[in-house]
Amino acid sequence: MKKCIIGKKVGMTQLFDETGKVIPVTVVEAGPCVVTQKKTIENDGYEALQVGFGDARPKTVNKPLKGHFSKYDLALKKELREFRLDNCSDFNIGDIIKVDSFEVGSSVDVVGTSKGKGYAGAIKRWNFHRLKESHGSGPVVRHAGSMGACSDPSRVMKGKKLPGHLGAERVTVQNLNIVKIDLENNLLVLKGAIPGPKGGLVYITDSVKKS
C-alpha cells in the first residue's frame, strides 16, 4: 500500500448514481494529516510513517510528546498512528496528507473500533438459539447450555462461546469504493458501512486487494 490517512466518521447517507440507483455511503472527515516521524530500517528495524491527526490543546499533551513535536517545529496533534507503506521514502517530516491523494473509483481498506455494547449473553453475542419454553426448560431458556467437559479436563477450554463483553474491538473492512471526494471540506464518501460510532476514528489505506 502507498496511501494512508486518518479520519473521523461523520455518518451515513445515500447518493444516487446516473441510473437513479440508490447507493448507501459513509462520509468520513479525512485529514488533513501531518507526517510527524519516519521510521527507518537503520534506526528502527522497519520502515513506517507516523502520522498525526487533529489539533490538541497543550495541557492535554505530556512533556515527552511535546518534545517530539517541537523537535521538528510541528503543531501538537491529538492522534498518532503508524502506517507501513511501500513508498515511505517519498514522504518527509512535516508533509501534509489530504484527501486529494486518493481518487474516485479506487478501493480502500478501513480500520476502526466497533460500537461497544457492554456485557451480553450468548444469544446476543454468538447468535445462539433459545430453548423451548415448555416441557421443563425452567428459567434457563436463554442460557448458554452445557460446558461439555466433566472431570477431564476439569476446566472450560479456551475459545468457548460464552457470555461476555461485546463490541469495542478492532474491525477491518476491505475493498470499499470511493464514490466522491470533497476537497474543500476534506471529506471521503465511501460505498457501504464502516465500523465505529459517529465521531469515531478510522484509519484508511489504499486497498491491498484488487477491485
Domain co-membership, 111 together with 121? no
Residue 30 is inside which H or E element, if any?
A: strand 22-30
| 199 within domain boundaries | yes
| 195 within domain boundaries | yes
Domain co-membership, 46 together with 91? yes
| 211 within domain boundaries | no
Residues 72-100, mean pLDDT to the nearest whole number: 87
Domain co-membership, 26 together with 67? yes
Residue 74 CA to residue 29 CA, distance in Å, equals 21
What does the pLDDT look like over 43-81, one tens digit per residue? 888 888 899 998 889 898 899 999 988 888 888 988 899
Domain co-membership, 9 together with 109? yes
pLDDT of 136 reads: 80
Domain co-membership, 156 together with 102? no
Beta 164-167 vs 77-83: how paired, if at all?
Answer: unpaired
Domain co-membership, 133 together with 197? no
Domain co-membership, 47 together with 76? yes
Residue 196, phi-psi category: left (phi > 0), alpha (psi -120 to 50), beta (remainder) = left
| 63 within domain boundaries | yes
Is pLDDT of 163 > 80?
yes
pLDDT of 114 reads: 92
Residues 133-149, mean pLDDT to the nearest whole number: 80
What does the pLDDT look like over 124-139, one tens digit per residue? 999 999 888 877 888 8
Q: How sure is the predictor about 149, in pLDDT bands with cuts at 50, 70 and 90?
A: low
Domain co-membership, 174 together with 153? no
Count the alpha carbons within 13 Å of 11 in the hemisphere toward its beta carbon. Answer: 2
Please tell me which residue, 145 or 64, carries the higher pLDDT value: 64
In 46-204, where does DSSP find H-type helix? 63-70, 122-126
Would you call the peptide bond into 153 cis, given omega within 30 degrees of 0 as the criterion? yes
Domain co-membership, 190 together with 143? no
Exposed e or buried b for every residue in 105-133, given b needs 16+ CB within 10 A?
Answer: eebbbbbbbeeeeeeeebeebeebeeeee
Domain at 92, CATH number: 2.40.30.10
Instruction: Please give the torsion angle defined by the CA atoms of residues 50, 53, 59 and 61, in that order, rounded to the nearest 10 degrees.
Output: -20
Maximum alpha-carbon separation in the chain:
73
Length of the chain: 211
Domain at 145, CATH number: 4.10.960.10
Residue 6 CA to residue 89 CA, distance in Å, equals 20
pLDDT of 13 reads: 92
- Cell of residue 100, nine digits: 486529494
Is pLDDT of 210 > 70?
no
Calculate what percentage of the chain has a pLDDT beyond 90. Answer: 36
pLDDT of 211 reads: 46
Q: How many domains does the chain have?
A: 2
Q: What is the pTM of this model?
A: 0.81
For 148, the domain range is 117-167
Is pLDDT of 191 > 80?
yes
Domain co-membership, 179 together with 121? no
Q: Closest Cα to residue 108, out of 51, 170, 178?
A: 178
Domain co-membership, 35 together with 137? no
